[in-house]
Amino acid sequence: MMNRKWVLDHYPQGAATEDVWRLEEAPIAELHPGQILVKTQWLSLDPYMRGRISPGANYAAGVAPGGVMQGGGVGEVIASAHPGWKVGDLAESMEMGWQTHAVLSPDLPGSQATNRVPEGVPPQAALSWLGMPGLTAYVGLTEIGRPLPGETVVVSAASGAVGQIVGQIAKLMGARVIAIAGSEEKLNYCRDLGFDVAISHRDPQMAEKLTEACPQGIDVFWDNTGGHIHDVALSQLATRARAIICGRIAVVDKPASEDIGLRASARLIVTRARIEGLIVFDWWHKRAEAFRHLQQWQAEGHIRYREDVLEGFERMPEAFLRMMSGANLGKQLVRV
């Protein structure tokens, strides 16, 4: 049996292109005690992956040229040398990688662990609202943003995998929620989810419309993008505001010298605002708590979501570029 895998061919200079990866085949490794062999069904595309194909330092080790591209996935156990796992079980793991078969060690700790897909939900939910994006939204709001009833929350990339869940949890917490997104289809989707106002970041009057929507300022800013949206929102923070810096997809392909953003220190002094970066892997211990709430909310109809699915393992690079360009609506997935 052979394993097909996408490996990193070279580091991109600027924006990634499809030739950054190459498709290879290799024999599947033998199982050691405590390991399982999983046949991949679903693979996740997430903005953090851009940092994993850069040669510079990041919060986690990246992929070296020739290595299997990193990423999370869901698959079926087809062989087991682990007493707690049997053939037919469904597994989710951040260690899956871009490959058709993965040898996993379920007992690794933290974010490296392999987990069972919860019963009663579609398998791919473990990569979306009941996976890393859902955990990100939950801990970012409950541990960092902590919106109070009546406060105003602004979410950039609001129709994406994380943003769509952030907005709905913020509404459950009693906040007014403002969506920022890039197309009328995405803005309408956010309105349908219950966002109070939806504003296009392509609108030349975005700053003015944001001021109109937030006359007392922004209490909680969830930043999935960086760039112009980041600058505008920081200039409109309310007193004691909280800004959660979750992503920087708008500027990740630009030279570091261009990613200087707003010189916000004076504004931060005036508002006594707090800005905190969010890496979801720091909060992996909150998974059980987060997933308990998310499953309950989803069952009660409070959490809805969309998925953007491409069919076929060969389309992994295409799906990555689609996600990076913002062409997707909702969680970007590939059905292998």
**Chain mean position to CA 196:** 23
- Predicted confidence at residue 255, as pLDDT, reads 61
- pTM equals 0.94
- Predicted confidence at residue 61, as pLDDT, reads 77
Instruction: Summarize pLDDT for 138-180 with one digit per residue, the tens.
Output: 999 999 999 999 999 999 999 999 999 999 999 999 999 999 9
Instruction: Summarize pLDDT for 106-139 with one digit per residue, the tens.
Output: 999 888 889 999 999 999 999 999 999 999 999 9
- Predicted confidence at residue 267, as pLDDT, reads 80
Which helix (H) or strand (E) element contains residue 322?
A: helix 316-325
Position of tokens 């689609």? 322
- Predicted confidence at residue 111, as pLDDT, reads 81
Instruction: Summarize pLDDT for 211-231 with one digit per residue, the tens.
Output: 999 999 999 999 999 989 999
Position of tokens 């997707």? 328
Regions of the chain with pLDDT less than 70 = 254-264
Q: Give the length of the chain.
A: 336
First to last CA, the chain: 17
Tell me, which fold does domain 2-127+306-335 have in CATH?
Quinone Oxidoreductase; Chain A, domain 1 (3.90.180)
Q: Helix, strand, or coil here: 190?
A: helix
- Predicted confidence at residue 266, as pLDDT, reads 78
Going by C-beta distance under 8 Å and a sequence separation of 6 or more, which residues neighbour residue 174?
A: 147, 148, 149, 150
The CATH number corresponding to 132-281 among 3.40.50.720, 3.60.10.10, 3.30.465.10, 2.20.70.10 equals 3.40.50.720
Distance, CA of 314 to CA of 5 (rounded, Å): 10
The pairs formed by 195-202 with CB atoms below 8 angstroms and a separation of 24 or more are 195/155, 195/158, 195/167, 195/171, 198/158, 201/156, 201/225, 201/228, 201/229
| Beta-strand relationship, 36-44 and 73-80 | antiparallel
Distance, CA of 33 to CA of 79 (rounded, Å): 12
Distance, CA of 7 to CA of 320 (rounded, Å): 14
Phi first, then psi, for residue 182 (nearest 5°) are -115, 0
The full set of domain ranges for the chain reads 2-127+306-335, 132-281
